[in-house]
């Protein structure tokens, strides 16, 4: 009985905390690479206590994790926000509960941002500024027949916001894209691909009553 448990037999109390954190984690697209995580934390603290904030400086996106799902929902209610003078997109960080994850080998790490729900549309984050709709179309056309490819642009400046969407004529090319999750590079830069799932098809959040999570206050590293 001292053998290490397999994944399937992980005790539920060990996973609920992780799962709750994963459910309260949001993806921030199109963020200014010079923005610090402290600025992100300060901005989103107006919705509720933030347990973690990170900016992927060289990729143009970041993540913020709230201590409660309700506060994450409050932030999601404003899907476009201005942080540090830059318009950003606020979305669910699907399937990103586990930290890190990068190290693994190519094929399996395809599940990195993968929720597994069938969809014909892919979100592409961390795009270099110069990437155009045609660049997306030519790169992702290798996976299947594309019906639409668009890089999202700032309405005022016309500059790329660092992310876009690719839509195929059927879901199966999206599966292939996700299998190559860790290998997508455009103009020499890794880009993050996720299934783009309409909100009405998102899996429902588990109905576990509130409790704002225990007294483990992670606070305070000075400076």
pLDDT digits (tens, 9 = 90+) for 165-177: 999 999 999 999 9
- The pLDDT score that the predictor gives to residue 203 is 65
d(C-alpha 164, C-alpha 148), whole Å: 11
The values of phi and psi at residue 98, to 5°, are: -80, 145
The strands making up 61-66's β-sheet, listed across from edge to edge, are 50-56, 61-66, 25-29, 86-92, 80-83
**How large is the C-alpha radius of gyration of the chain?**
18
pLDDT of the residue at 201: 66
pLDDT class for 112, splitting at 50, 70, 90?
Answer: very low
Banded model confidence at residue 24, pLDDT cuts 50, 70, 90: confident
- The answer on pLDDT for 107 being more than 80 is no
Are the C-beta atoms of 187 and 128 separated by less than 8 Å? yes
User: What does the block give as tokens for 116?
Assistant: 């597994």
Band of pLDDT at residue 204, cut at 50, 70 and 90? low
* Pairing status of strand 80-83 against strand 25-29: unpaired
Residue 146 CB neighbours (<10 A): 20
Q: Which two tokens stand for residue 126?
A: 């961390």
Q: Are 171 and 120 in contact (CB under 8 A)?
A: yes
């Amino acid at each position: 009985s001292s053998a290490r448990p397999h994944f399937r037999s992980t005790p539920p109390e060990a996973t609920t905390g992780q799962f709750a954190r994963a459910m309260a984690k949001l993806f921030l697209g199109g963020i200014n690479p010079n923005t610090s995580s402290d600025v992100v934390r300060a901005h989103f603290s107006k919705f509720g206590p933030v347990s973690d904030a990170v900016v992927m400086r060289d990729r143009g996106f970041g993540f913020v994790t709230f201590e409660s799902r309700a506060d994450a929902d409050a932030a999601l209610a404003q899907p476009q926000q201005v942080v540090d003078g830059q318009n950003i997109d606020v979305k669910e960080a699907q399937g990103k509960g586990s930290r890190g994850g990068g190290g693994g080998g190519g094929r399996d790490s395809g599940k990195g941002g993968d929720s597994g729900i069938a969809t014909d549309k892919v979100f592409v984050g961390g795009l270099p500024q110069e990437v155009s709709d045609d660049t997306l179309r030519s790169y992702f056309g290798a996976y299947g027949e594309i019906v639409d490819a668009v890089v999202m642009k700032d309405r005022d400046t016309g500059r790329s916001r660092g992310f876009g969407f690719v839509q195929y004529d059927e879901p199966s090319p999206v599966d292939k894209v996700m299998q190559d999750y860790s290998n997508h590079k455009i103009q020499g830069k890794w880009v993050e691909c996720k299934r783009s799932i309409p909100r009405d098809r998102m899996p429902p959040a588990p109905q576990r009553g509130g409790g704002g999570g225990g007294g483990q206050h992670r606070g305070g590293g000075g400076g």
